[in-house]
Amino acid sequence: LYCNRFDAVPLAALQQLNEITELDLSSNRLKELPPDLRLLKSLVVLDVRCNQLTTLGIELASLNNLREIHAQNNRLNTVSPKLLANPKITVLKLHGNEFPYPVDILYGQWTSEKVDLSNRNMKALPNEIFLLERVKELYLQDNELTGISQDIGKLQSLEVLD
């Protein structure tokens, strides 16, 4: 369903698809995700990049099979702490959004193994980033960084730094 003109998720039709595991709604005109999205219990991958979303809410936190959320290039300024604390989500792509500062998405217990903070105009990394014990991939390209703290060594699971 990507690259259409949806301004709302066609949930009435999708709810009947009990076994749907991947949903690509990228490049539409979505401004919000409906609470009933939580009814897609088999969903593993949700792609909502390149829309007009301002928040990723609790409607996604209850999806027990959800592993990947691609939400880059929206207008996001908040993400539900329950979503960030979901240990099953291993990929959460959020670059190209309107977060005022990375700390706003790092509160709570971030459990994702892949963190993409590229294209954020960051001049420095917040100290909270060094608490991300499970992160394996950290993407920081296209920022305004001039150095990286020695605390990067605290990220013992880190395999990719870009």
Mean pLDDT (the chain) is 84
pLDDT at residue number 131: 73
Cβ count within 10 A of residue 97: 22
pLDDT more than 90, % of the chain:
30
Report the pLDDT averaged over residues 76-81. 79
What predicted TM-score, i.e. pTM, was given to this entire model? Answer: 0.70
User: Which residues touch 162 (CB under 8 Å, ≥6 apart)?
Assistant: 118, 137, 138, 139, 140, 141
CA angle 102, 107, 113 (to 5 degrees): 80
Report the number of secondary-structure helices (H) and strands (E) in the chain.
3, 9
Torsion angle (degrees, nearest 10) of CA 25, 27, 29, 32: 50
The pLDDT confidence band at residue 73, using thresholds 50, 70 and 90, is: very high
How open is the CA angle 43-44-46, to the nearest 5 degrees?
Answer: 80
pLDDT tens readout for residues 148-160: 889 999 889 999 9
82-127 pLDDT per residue, tens: 777 677 888 888 878 876 555 444 544 456 687 777 877 778 887 7
pLDDT surpassing 90 at residue 135: no
Residue 139 near residue 95 (C-beta atoms within 8 A):
yes
